Amino acid sequence: MKCYDPENNRLVFLQEENVSSTYWEGHWSKYDTQRALIGENRLITGTTGRFLPRGSRILEGGCGLGRNVYALSKKGFEAYGIDFASETLQKVREVCPDLRLCVGDVTALPFPASFFDGYWSVGVIEHFYNGFAGAAREMHRVLRPGGYLFISFPCLSPYRKHKIKRKKYGLWEADDSRQGNFYQFALLTDEVCSYFCSLGFRFVARQGLDGLKGLKDEIGNDAVRGVLQKLYNSPSLPLRAVRLVAGRMLAPFTRHCDLLVLQRK
């Protein structure tokens, strides 16, 4: 379920079930830990390599199964990961004990100031019901001057903005009793960028991601949505290639997420 919050200009995503720490442990438990580590996210490794040399020290805040930490380590980076899902991290350690993983809170990181050259935050800041300011301040603190922040989050794409204008979402009314069902926000990218710049970052680059997901999740026609869902889930190599191309072509209009690259001043 999605609602529009006009006061803060964002979408609010709600789940029927309670979203707690046990929810995330259950979410990650659905995946085969060993297989999850093998797949490389080339967006993560490629983007990192564009801005930082091998050997750079990089943290992923909210690392989940550690896939990106593993991939960055294999590419020659000194990669670390932190997540509050302790059971998940323990399973990852059993498969790959050499990964630098720790249980912790991204709003109170157990690392000294200016310790990292890079910081990845992949789909994390949108999950803070009371705002991501605490996590953002920690990102700034642990990055060295000149270090890079790579941060992705669901955004208000042109298609979502169009639906807002046409009043296709119900209106959100702040109610703390619904906090337990809160899942995430879709945020206005310019506002996110402005906030980080006010902390002492400068804007470097922006990229829209996953236009196919943004379309399938928002389109009103059930039949079309069903076709898009099958394409999105298909393991077929040819259809995966179609999905990749379609996602890139659709991203300017229906992207699900934005990726910001920012540099600490």
- Tell me how far apart the alpha carbons of residues 32 and 36 are, in angstroms, rounded to a whole number: 6
- Tell me how far apart the alpha carbons of residues 38 and 127 are, in angstroms, rounded to a whole number: 26
Q: What is the pLDDT of residue 99?
A: 93
- Long-range contacts (CB closer than 8 Å, 24 or more residues apart) made by 42-47: 43/209, 43/259, 44/68, 44/71, 44/72, 44/120, 44/122, 44/150, 45/71, 45/72, 45/75, 47/150, 47/259, 47/261
- Tell me how far apart the alpha carbons of residues 154 and 141 are, in angstroms, rounded to a whole number: 24
Q: 127: which 2 tokens?
A: 């999950």
> In CATH, what number does 7-156+171-208+258-264 get?
3.40.50.150
Q: Is the separation of the CB atoms in 41 and 102 below 8 Å?
A: no
For residue 104, pLDDT over 90 is answered with yes
Pairing of β 257-264 and β 78-83: unpaired
- Tell me how far apart the alpha carbons of residues 184 and 154 are, in angstroms, rounded to a whole number: 8
Domain residue spans of the chain:
7-156+171-208+258-264
Q: 233: which 2 tokens?
A: 């889930």
For residue 35, pLDDT over 70 is answered with no
pLDDT, tens digit, for every residue of 56-103? 999 999 999 899 999 999 999 999 999 998 889 998 998 889 999 999
Q: 131: which 2 tokens?
A: 């705002």
Q: How confident is the model at residue 34 (pLDDT cuts 50, 70, 90)?
A: low
Q: Tell me the backbone φ, ψ of residue 169, rounded to 5 degrees.
A: -110, 150
| Across 37-46, 61-70, 121-130, 222-231, least confident range | 37-46
Q: 8: which 2 tokens?
A: 């803060």
Cα torsion angle, 258, 182, 148, 49, sign: negative
Looking at the DSSP bridge assignments, the partners of residue 122 are 152
What's the whole-model pTM score? Answer: 0.91
